[in-house]
Homo-oligomer: A and B are copies of this chain.
């Protein structure tokens, strides 16, 4: 069966990452995965959250996620108007933060915090995984900026990290679901992996449905391949700097 946009089941949408799209931020990218477009900016600050200072352990990397009101098919209420954070957004930004911290040497970062803002300009499925893949590049650029400003002497990242979604749509296992597929999916799985092929997150959910161990394995296989390709692309985008990660 061909997918609605003509891809085969194992095929990811075209991915583009444009660096340096914000003159103020220490790191910034626009990531496009098909029609999904997310601006990721990294902000370096010389202070830590209170609890982190008490707890110790070095720096902190965190994320915030938002959607512009008309990033979706029908306009959503602006988050500042709702007056309270949205459960889905909170869940996503916690995921992005964990993903980035899983490859960061926080002790080596020192008393700094880096906030990754992931703002969805246009949504077409997979905004959280695109945010992770893009935010990683913005984080690298912010760390590189710290090196250039003599505030770090190496990039405190142990590895690359990227993410994609897999799922079961009409009984078939497919890679990188777009919005139409996502809303029809019986099973939806978001996977975050590092450059050495290990998992950071497996978030698989049956939508009023369940899935077998065999299907779980099929989805993990597909995600592993997709993320391997994404990390290849991240390396290409970073060029020379890529060599300084995981040293």
Segment of A3-11, A67-75, A239-247 engaged in the interface with chain B: A67-75
Please state if B90 and A87 are interface contacts (CB–CB under 8 Å): yes
User: Residue among A72, A85, A117 with the most chain B CB within 10 A?
Assistant: A85
Please state if A122 and B198 are interface contacts (CB–CB under 8 Å): no
Segment of A148-156, A170-178, A205-213, A230-238 engaged in the interface with chain B: A205-213
CB A138 to nearest CB in B, in angstroms, measures 10
Complex Cα gap A35–B24 (Å): 10
Complex Cα gap A87–B70 (Å): 22
Hey, which chain B residues are within 8 Å of A121, CB to CB?
A: 22, 39
Residues of A within 8 A of B (CB): 22-25, 28, 35, 39, 41, 43, 45, 64, 66, 68-73, 75, 78-91, 94, 98, 101-104, 106, 115, 117, 119, 121-122, 159, 189, 193-194, 196-213, 216, 220, 224
Hey, which chain B residues are within 8 Å of A25, CB to CB?
A: 70
Contacts A81-B64, A200-B210 hold; do A91 and B94 have CB atoms under 8 A apart? yes
Hey, which chain B residues are within 8 Å of A210, CB to CB?
A: 102-103, 159, 193-194, 196, 198-200
Closest CB pairs A-B (n = 9): A79-B80, A87-B90, A198-B210, A41-B70, A202-B204, A43-B75, A84-B84, A91-B91, A200-B206
CB A143 to nearest CB in B, in angstroms, measures 16
Hey, which chain B residues are within 8 Å of A104, CB to CB?
A: 208
User: Residue among A72, A80, A220 with the most chain B CB within 10 A?
Assistant: A80
Partner of A83, one of B28, B83, B194, B212: B83
Query: Given known contacts A28-B70, A68-B119, A102-B210, what 9 new A-B pairs fall within 8 Å (CB)?
Result: A23-B35, A41-B70, A43-B70, A43-B75, A69-B115, A85-B85, A87-B91, A101-B208, A194-B210
